[in-house]
C-alpha cells in the first residue's frame, strides 16, 4: 500500500523534526536527562530501521546519560537526572533504577559503538544486585531502590527481558556474526 507507506514516511519525518526541535537542548533530549529518552532509537536500531535523530546528537545524548545517570547508584543507572547532574528527586520513578531500561540503554550503546567493557560493567551492577545481593534472578522487578538495591515493585516484570537485547546488540556489532545474521534474513 504505497499511499499508506507514504503517509507513514511523512509522519516519521514530521515526528523526527519535532523531536529534535522541541526536545534537543544541546546535551540530550528533554528537560531532564532520562535513561529512556532514546528508546525509539533503540527499537529502530534493533529492527534496522535507521535514525530517528542526527547521529552526533544521539551519540552526545548517550554519552551524557552515561556520564550523569551512572554515578548515583551502585545498583545500576538511575532513570533521570537534572540539568545540573543531580539526581531527579521529583518522583519515585525518576530517582530509582528501572532494570529493563538499564538493559535497553546498554544495548543501544553497544549498537552505537560504545565500549563493551564499560557497558558490561554497568550491566553487571544491575545483575549483581538482582542475582547475588537480592538473590532473585528469576523474579526481577520493574524498579529497584537506587540507595539500597531493594526491590520496589513489578514482580516478574516483562520489560526485563530486554536483557536479551545485549547479546543481540553484540551480535550485530560483531562483523562475523552480523554476516551470519544478514544471511539468515535472506532465507
159-179 residue pLDDT tens: 778 888 888 888 887 777 677
Q: Which of 50, 85, 92 is nearest to 66 (CA)?
A: 85
Give residue-wise pLDDT tens across range 69-116: 999 999 999 999 999 999 999 999 999 999 999 999 999 999 999 988
Give residue-wise pLDDT tens across range 1-28: 999 999 998 998 999 999 999 999 999 9
In this prediction the pTM is 0.88
Amino acid at each position: 500500500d504505497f499511499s499508506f507507506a507514504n503517509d507513514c514516511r511523512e509522519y516519521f519525518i514530521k515526528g523526527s523534526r519535532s523531536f529534535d526541535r522541541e526536545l534537543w537542548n544541546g546535551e540530550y533530549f528533554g528537560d531532564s536527562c532520562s535513561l529512556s529518552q532514546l528508546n525509539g532509537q533503540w527499537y529502530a536500531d534493533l529492527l534496522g530501521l535507521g535514525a530517528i535523530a542526527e547521529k552526533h546528537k544521539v551519540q552526545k545524548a548517550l554519552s551524557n546519560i552515561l556520564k550523569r545517570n551512572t554515578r548515583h547508584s551502585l545498583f545500576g543507572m538511575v532513570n533521570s537526572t537534572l540539568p545540573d547532574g543531580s539526581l531527579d528527586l521529583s518522583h519515585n520513578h525518576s530517582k530509582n533504577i528501572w532494570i529493563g531500561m538499564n538493559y535497553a540503554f546498554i544495548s543501544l550503546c553497544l549498537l552505537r559503538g560504545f565500549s563493551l567493557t564499560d557497558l558490561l560493567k554497568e550491566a553487571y551492577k544491575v545483575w549483581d544486585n538482582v542475582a547475588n545481593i537480592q538473590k532473585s534472578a528469576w523474579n526481577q522487578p520493574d524498579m529497584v531502590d537506587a540507595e539500597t538495591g531493594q526491590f520496589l515493585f513489578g514482580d516478574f516484570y516483562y520489560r526485563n527481558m530486554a536483557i536479551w537485547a545485549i547479546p543481540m546488540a553484540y551480535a550485530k556489532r560483531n562483523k562475523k556474526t552480523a554476516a551470519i545474521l544478514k544471511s539468515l534474513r535472506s532465507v
